[in-house]
A and B are shown apart, each in its own frame.
Chain A
Amino acid sequence: MARAVTPRRKALNTAISWAVGLLIFFPILWTILTSFKTEAEAIADPPLFLNFSWTLENYAVVQERSDYMRFLWNSVIIAGGSTVLGVMIAVPAAWSMAFVPSRRTKDILLWMLSTKMLPAVGVLYPIYLICIEFGLLDSRAALVVILMLINLPIIVWMLYTYFREIPGEILEASRMDGAGLKEEILYVLTPMAIPGIASTLLLNFILAWNEAFWTLNLTAANAAPLTAFIASYSSPEGLFYAKLSAASTMAIAPILILGWFSQKQLVRGLTFGAVK
């Protein structure tokens, strides 16, 4: 039964939601505001909120000092590549776990998730050494593979929950209709799971885009994505907050816009299976 909500309670709920939302959004807002300040205004005490002299100078400096497009391109390749590769591996994996589960399927799923609990720095040395051995340091290929591996458990889990919602009889029907495994996945399962696959792609693209630990540790000049671009503005000779903010804003802008336009998909993807 639906609980009766009084207007006062509703107003309170709305206020709390807005407060939480603003709290979460505030750092991003502050970064964006700071990027339009001069360096002096950026560190002013008390901080200036809107009453400063707006300037685009920081963006000009950042663009002049570093090649934004190269970093952006690297980010696109690394995030896109790892996501596509991950989905190609995860679709068959999730298919088998959802439709032909064995006694150990639940254990495998949990075990996969447990790898996410391992601190990344714990495997930094071995992976770093492997990269050196194979000449993959500072290469986009290595990052595509590593980020794919890191996000694979999440991709498999998400797709698994989606696939579980698809009636098994439809897949059985396709088998009776003469479809082999490949045709079954290609013509029946995947088209039916498109919304799920789309939100999985999106979420993992965002996760890979924002991933900083591996991208910072395994790249130098060639394969550095936007995370490295931001980091390059925290220099040892002191922090230039305004320029750092401008660089950060430029780095997060593409993903922010992507996220804004696809938030419906994302929310649906993240709550899928939780509510029927």
Chain B
Amino acid sequence: MGQITLEKVTKRFGDVEVIPPLDLTIEDGEFCVFVGPSGCGKSTLLRLIAGLEDITSGVIGIDGNDASRTPPAKRGLAMVFQSYALYPHMSVRKNIAFPMKMAGVPQDEQARRIDSAAKALNLTDYLDRRPGQLSGGQRQRVAIGRAIVREPAAFLFDEPLSNLDAALRVGMRLEISELHERLKTTMIYVTHDQVEAMTMADKIVVLRAGHIEQVGTPLELYRAPRNLFVAGFIGSPKMNLIEGDAARQHDAATIGVRPEHIDVVDDGPWQGKVGVAEHLGSDTFLHVHGTGLADIVTVRATGEVGLRHGDTVSLAPRAEHIHRFDASGLRIA
């Protein structure tokens, strides 16, 4: 079990309100991602749930029990830190055993769980090494192993992949997703990387300045961003946000069109010059200048497109994929 509820939770550091009153429910077994730009309060929120920071007011419930004042050790949650936070003086085996030692798990049971975690995480050959002798990816696995053996009510991940190189990051992302499929335990995952959020989450919580901007499944956020912030934050490359006449034609203050929803055509409503063309093979990202709509309009064309710097292009947005926002930045249904 691992349902986590936040009711009117606030956090102040002195006079600074980092988290204004906030309500959120994370269902048992859910993979929930907190995403937002740096300084949005996502890590603080995670630390409040972990108990590493005290909440200023409100109630944090874990499985229906008020855990607001429960020390972190007693909340039954496991956390994986950005820096891995392994114990440098202990072997991998002892690192993984530590939470069980604290919980008074019998020795033979400890050994059994260490073996199974090591097998699942490909750490069997490294159990007697110290963390200093491991690569970044291996250290991350040890940190995850240490979390798994506790059999926690929920896992908390604080930007666990940001210290890894790009290739490793994709691999670990998959491993964590698979882990969630296998264990079906609640996971809360903090990241500033919206690709991680989109690919891993059952539910994404987009945060800005401590406020929840939107909660939803990845595709809900993609298809119907509630406001301009979410629209600009979710999706890669970013949604094109266009103001002025082009927006007024759609009865909106701002319209948004994702790069993948603009086609290069022979005779479209928008014209411009190609600035940078990024050829990825599978796709081509065209950064088009001089459309009079926005500084740059980004277009994602499928496959290899024979356009280069300076070419004039004609663009057409797909009408059914135009997002409309009012003057206050909220979505118009």
Residues on A lying within 8 angstroms of B by beta carbon are: 167, 169-170, 172-180, 183, 187-188, 191-192, 194
Contact = CB atoms under 8 A, between A and B. Distances in A.
Given A167-B85, A170-B85, A191-B89, A175 B98 contact: no
B103 A188 contact: no
Interface of B: 50-52, 71-74, 77-79, 81-83, 85-90, 98-99, 102-103, 146, 150, 156
Q: Which of A175, A176, A179, A183: most chain B CB closer than 10 A? A: A176
Contact of B50 (A174, A176, A194): A176
A194 B102 CA distance: 21
B85 A172 contact: yes
B150 A169 contact: no
A187 to B, nearest CB: 7
29 contacts: A167-B83, A169-B81, A169-B82, A169-B83, A169-B85, A170-B85, A170-B86, A170-B87, A170-B88, A172-B72, A173-B79, A173-B146, A175-B72, A175-B73, A176-B52, A176-B72, A176-B156, A177-B73, A177-B78, A177-B99, A177-B102, A177-B146, A177-B150, A178-B150, A179-B73, A179-B98, A180-B71, A191-B87, A191-B89
Contacts of A188: 87
Contacts of A169: 81-83, 85
A187 B77 CA distance: 20
Nearest to B89: A191
Nearest to B72: A175
B81 A172 contact: yes
A172 B52 contact: yes
The A interface is mostly helix, strand or loop, or mixed, namely helix
Given A176-B77, A179-B73, A179-B98, 5 more contacts: A169-B83, A176-B50, A179-B102, A191-B89, A192-B87
Contacts of B52: 172, 175-176
Contacts of A183: 102
A169 B88 CA distance: 12
Nearest to A179: B102
A244 B87 CA distance: 52
A178 B147 CA distance: 11
A176 B87 contact: no
A187 B73 CA distance: 15
Nearest to A180: B73
Given A167-B83, A183-B102, A187-B98, A176 B78 contact: yes
Nearest to B87: A188
Q: Which of B52, B85, B88, B99: most chain A CB closer than 10 A? A: B85
Contacts of A177: 73, 78, 98-99, 102, 146, 150
A246 B82 CA distance: 60
A236 to B, nearest CB: 56
A19 B186 CA distance: 68
Shortest Cβ-Cβ A-B pairs, 7 listed = A178-B102, A173-B85, A177-B99, A169-B85, A176-B79, A191-B89, A178-B73
Nearest to B52: A172
Contacts of A173: 79, 81, 85-87, 146
A167 B88 CA distance: 11
Contacts of B102: 177-179, 183
A173 B86 CA distance: 8
Contacts of A187: 98
Contacts of B73: 175-180
A134 to B, nearest CB: 40
Nearest to A184: B73
B71 A174 contact: no
Contacts of A170: 85-88
B88 A192 contact: yes
A187 B146 CA distance: 16
Contacts of A178: 73-74, 99, 102-103, 150
B85 A175 contact: no
A161 to B, nearest CB: 19
Contacts of B83: 167, 169
A175 B146 CA distance: 13
B14 to A, nearest CB: 10
Contacts of B74: 178
